[in-house]
Amino acid sequence: MLTRRLGLISSVCALIAGPALAERRSAAARAVGAQGRHTKEPTETGSPADTPLGPVDTVARWAYIMDFDTGATLLEKQADEEMPPSSMTKLMTIYIVYSRLKEGRLKLDDQLPVSEKAWRTQGSKMFVAVGSTVRVEDLIRGVIVQSGNDAAIVLAEGIAGSEEQFADLMNKTAQKLGLTHSFFKNCTGWPDPEHHMSARDIATLAAHIIRDFPQYYHYDSEKTFRYNNIAQGNRNPMVQKGTADGLKTGHTDAGGYGLVASSKRNGRRLILVLNGMASMRERAEESERLMDWAFFNFEDVTLYAAGDVIDRVPVWLGANPTVPLVAGKDLTVTMPRNWRQKASVKISYDTPLIAPVAKGDTVGKLEVTGQGVPNFTVPLLASEDVPKLGLPGRAMAVLSKYVTGT
């Protein structure tokens, strides 16, 4: 096995320099200014969150921040612990609604009936009238903007016949999406000892909504919605300030105040989940502070484009003497901003390879390590076919190796 340690080679530097670097410096300057607006430390920090940069204090009992494009974890605190998700549950309700719309089994103009159960439900409400029918699109806004428990139940009953059957559908969908720390008893997040999600699961679900249903995600950024002559504002403080374009808040006595938000700045999107805070004000301040921290301290870096030749590997008895190695796709990673001083990039492969080699074969790996740098490994692929030499060519190659030793 041959291992080669690569410096920050010119091809990498070229990809991260120039206008992109200037843009990041400008973004960093704005983030510093934003950070300056949030210099007040929380009065009670509790245990800190884990990050690639070291511990970071947060008043949230549960916390998770991820990069949308790379999936990198930037901050986590009890991220896989089961917790009361309150109205953040409604993300799963909306995911199923969007799935039915995409499949054509539901339409935005469909009218769904309002049952007495939906009308009588407590908590936040859209204020639908019993015995009436409501357009699906209005119900979506009622769930997302107004956090209406009544709207969620109307959707659940319209899709599955009952809230209980809809909860079964939620759990099946959670399994399909890989939400391993979630179990649903209702469509609203109404307190139930068996009803739970984790912060990481909520972030994963939020990412699926944004990625799977971009045609519907615009509802999340609406700041107000009027129904039945009652106007209500979006309960997400980051959406109201314009520092996020979705997704949801929640509150119960058991779970405290929570929020899941997604923000896109300079082409980069992050998803943040916080829960277990003591007040709406604390939720608003902490979500802004940690989102600013994440954008300021990390960046997405493209180390190699899909077709970049990273190295060439000798091929024994091949029609070509070497085969180029490529990553096969753009290799974009999330790094702390000072990663250049700390990262070590190396590639490993068996040498020589034995012909034949097929295009797409995994023939090596690239590893990135370093203090404060998230470690990762990606496979390296052969970028072309290398057939075996014909019999005369193989004979000459063996003879040459015998004579020269190479």
Domains of the chain (ranges plus CATH)? 2-19+305-404 (2.60.410.10), 44-296 (3.40.710.10)
β 353-354/311-316 pair status: parallel
Is 185 marked as binding a ligand?
no
Q: Residue 236 in contact with residue 259, Cβ under 8 Å?
A: yes
Q: Rounded to a whole number, what is the distance in angstroms from the first to the last CA of the chain?
A: 17
**What is the pLDDT, as a whole number, of residue 132?**
96
pLDDT at position 381, please? 87
Residues taking part in catalysis = 87, 90, 147
CB 355 within 8 A of CB 384: no
Predicted local distance difference test score (pLDDT) of residue 310: 82
β pairing state of 230-233 and 224-227: antiparallel
pLDDT digits over 102-149, tens only?
Answer: 999 999 999 999 999 999 999 999 999 999 999 999 999 999 999 999
Residues of the chain with pLDDT under 70: 1-46, 317-318, 340, 371-374, 389-406
> Taking the CB of residue 253, how many other CB atoms lie within 10 A of it?
8
Note the pLDDT of residue 13. 38
DSSP H helical ranges for 84-162: 90-103, 116-120, 136-144, 149-160
- For residues 312 and 297, is the Cβ–Cβ distance under 8 A? no
Buried-state track 19-57, b at ≥16 Cβ within 10 A, e below 16: eeeeebeebbeebeebbeeeeeebeeeeeebbbbeeebe
Residue 265's H or E segment, with its range, is strand 256-265
Burial degree of 289 (CB within 10 A; 0-12, 13-18, 19+): buried
What pLDDT is recorded for position 405? 54
3 state SS of 271: strand
What is the reported pLDDT for 21? 33
pLDDT tens digit sequence for 351-398: 778 889 888 888 888 887 776 666 778 888 888 888 876 555 444 444
Q: What are the CA-CA distances from residue 23 to residues 32, 143, 158, 299, 374 (Å)?
A: 14, 37, 48, 11, 24
Q: State the pTM of this model.
A: 0.78
- pLDDT at 385 (0 to 100): 85
